[in-house]
C-alpha cells in the first residue's frame, strides 16, 4: 500500500518546491527551483523544463550523477535524461517492481 505524499504546509496551503541543487565540497547549493501549485509529486514535463534551464547554466558533461528520490521515476523522465547524457541514481521504494520482483525481493535474491 502506498503512503500518501506528505508536503510542507503553511496553514492549510501546500508548500511544494521542486528543487535542483549542485553538490560542491559536500554541500548542496540550490541552483534552480519551481514552486508547484499543488500538493503531491511533480510532473515529467516540469522536471524536463527545470533540467533544460539547468543545462543553460552547465553542460550535461559536467553532471556526474543526478540523485533523485523515489517519486522521480517513469520511462519518459529517465529516457529524457538518458537522451541528454545525464546519469541518474534513484532511490527506489522497496515495493517497486524490477523484472517481476519487488526491489526488496530482488536485492535479497541477488545477495543470496
Strands 8-10 and 13-24: what pairing?
A: antiparallel
* Domain total in the chain: 1
Q: What is the mean pLDDT of residues 60-80?
A: 89
Q: 2 lies in a domain?
A: no
pLDDT tens-digit map of 17-69: 899 999 989 999 999 999 988 877 889 999 999 999 999 999 999 999 999 98
1: confidence class by pLDDT, cuts 50, 70, 90: very low
Q: 45: domain range? A: 8-111
Q: 57 lies in a domain?
A: yes
Q: 3 lies in a domain?
A: no
Distance, CA of 20 to CA of 107 (rounded, Å): 29
Q: 97 lies in a domain?
A: yes
Residues 6+ positions from 22 with CB-CB distance below 8 Å? 28, 29, 31, 58
Amino acid at each position: 500500500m502506498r503512503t500518501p505524499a506528505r508536503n510542507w504546509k503553511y496553514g492549510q496551503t501546500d508548500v511544494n518546491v521542486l528543487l535542483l541543487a549542485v553538490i560542491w565540497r559536500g554541500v548542496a547549493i540550490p541552483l534552480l527551483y519551481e514552486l508547484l501549485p499543488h500538493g503531491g509529486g511533480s510532473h515529467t514535463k516540469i522536471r524536463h523544463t527545470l533540467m533544460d534551464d539547468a543545462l543553460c547554466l552547465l553542460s550535461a558533461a559536467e553532471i556526474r550523477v543526478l540523485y533523485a528520490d523515489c517519486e522521480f521515476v517513469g520511462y519518459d523522465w529517465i529516457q529524457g535524461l538518458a537522451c541528454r547524457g545525464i546519469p541518474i541514481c534513484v532511490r527506489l521504494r522497496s515495493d517497486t517492481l524490477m523484472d517481476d520482483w519487488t526491489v526488496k525481493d530482488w536485492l535479497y535474491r541477488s545477495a543470496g
